[in-house]
């Protein structure tokens, strides 16, 4: 479900669960966390996160959400996201196809986000009776402005690559043919930089980490309660049973 490799000072993480559109389950978060934690070593200068089979990720596995109760912690997801927030070297994301839910949220913590013209994004938490996660409600208003952030997070609709660029979620949109070249050129440039200056520059740029970590905990508290609410249970069941949501339960 996850392919991790280390080559030429680059740690690559490939998400690979094609039958479920690369939806993420706890074991995958756990393995991604372990991989990212290992980026804090002398021989790694950049990290690449990508999907596979033309898809980045459809987000958290909804069946897994359904099986959680409020007391059950989300330690693997939290550990993964914190290892991303704290990753000392630049993280490059290669986005093809769908980047849904945490698939979009995690991009807010990457340093270079390149996508192809067909990429589709969504933070559909509101439609699932959930709330924003992992500091998206902190970062998005700051990078996109309050109005665009409200549109993305309160309507929860799918948006295209152009909109993602406009909102500051992606660095550049290119054709799917150009994407691998752009990624490998950027990684090569990063690997050619002096390591200490690279790490120090990233730390200076990501200078709101304390506030971000505090906000993540605030969001998680609300998220945990929302996950076991009636609207969330109904939205998860509707998705798994491939039927429309009963909107009466959203009142």
Q: What are phi and psi of 194, to 5 degrees?
A: -65, 130
Smallest gap, in angstroms, from Cβ of residue 189 to ligand COA? 33
Question: Can you tell me which of 33, 48, 51, 59 binds ligand COA, judged by CB under 6 A?
Answer: 59
Please state, in angstroms and as integers, the Cα–Cα distance from residue 145 to each residue in 23, 121, 169, 175, following that order: 29, 18, 12, 27
Q: Residue 123, CB half-sphere, CA atoms under 13 Å: how many?
A: 25
What's the DSSP call for residue 11? Answer: E
Smallest gap, in angstroms, from Cβ of residue 55 to ligand COA? 8
Question: Can you tell me which of 23, 46, 106, 135 binds ligand COA, judged by CB under 6 A?
Answer: 23
Virtual torsion, Cα 151, 212, 205, 160, nearest 10 deg:
-20
Q: Which is nearer to ligand COA, 112 or 121 (CB)?
A: 121
* Binding track, positions 134-163, relative to ligand COA; x by CB under 6 A: ------------------------------
Q: What are phi and psi of 212, to 5 degrees?
A: -65, -45
Smallest gap, in angstroms, from Cβ of residue 2 to ligand COA? 16
Q: Which residue is nearest to ligand COA (CB)?
A: 101
Q: Which of 103, 117, 120, 119 is nearest to 178 (CA)?
A: 117
Contact flag: residue 85 with ligand COA (CB under 6 A) = no
Contact flag: residue 129 with ligand COA (CB under 6 A) = no
Contact flag: residue 60 with ligand COA (CB under 6 A) = yes
Q: What are phi and psi of 63, to 5 degrees?
A: -65, -35
Q: What tokens does 124 get?
A: 């559909």
- The size of the interface with ligand COA (CB under 6 A), counted in residues, is 16
Q: Is 211 helix (H, G, I), strand (E, B) or coil?
A: helix
Mark the segment that binds ligand COA (CB under 6 A) among 1-9, 59-67, 72-80, 215-223: 59-67
| Site residues (vs ligand COA, CB under 6 A) | 20-21, 23, 58-63, 98, 100-101, 124-125, 128, 239
């Amino acid at each position: 479900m996850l392919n991790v490799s280390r080559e030429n000072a680059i740690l690559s993480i490939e998400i690979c669960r094609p039958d479920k559109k690369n939806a993420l389950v706890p074991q995958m978060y756990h393995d991604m966390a372990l991989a990212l934690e290992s980026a804090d070593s002398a021989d790694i200068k950049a990290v690449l996160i990508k999907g596979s089979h033309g898809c980045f990720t459809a987000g958290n596995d909804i069946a897994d959400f359904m099986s959680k109760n409020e007391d059950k912690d989300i330690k693997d997801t939290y550990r993964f996201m914190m290892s991303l927030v704290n990753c000392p070297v630049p993280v490059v994301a290669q986005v093809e196809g769908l980047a849904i839910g945490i698939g979009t949220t995690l991009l807010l913590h990457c340093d270079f986000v390149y996508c192809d013209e067909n990429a589709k994004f969504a933070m559909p938490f509101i439609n699932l009776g959930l709330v924003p996660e992992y500091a998206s409600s902190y970062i998005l208003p700051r990078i996109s402005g309050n109005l665009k952030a409200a549109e993305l997070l309160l309507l929860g609709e799918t948006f295209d690559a152009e909109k993602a660029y406009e909102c500051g979620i992606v660095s550049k949109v290119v054709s799917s043919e150009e994407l691998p070249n752009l990624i490998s050129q950027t990684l090569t440039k990063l690997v050619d930089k002096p390591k200490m200056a690279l790490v120090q520059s990233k730390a200076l740029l990501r200078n709101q980490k304390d506030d971000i970590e505090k906000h993540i905990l605030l969001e998680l508290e609300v998220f945990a309660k929302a996950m076991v609410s009636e609207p969330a249970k109904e939205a998860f069941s509707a998705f798994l049973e491939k039927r429309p949501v009963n909107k009466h339960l959203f009142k």
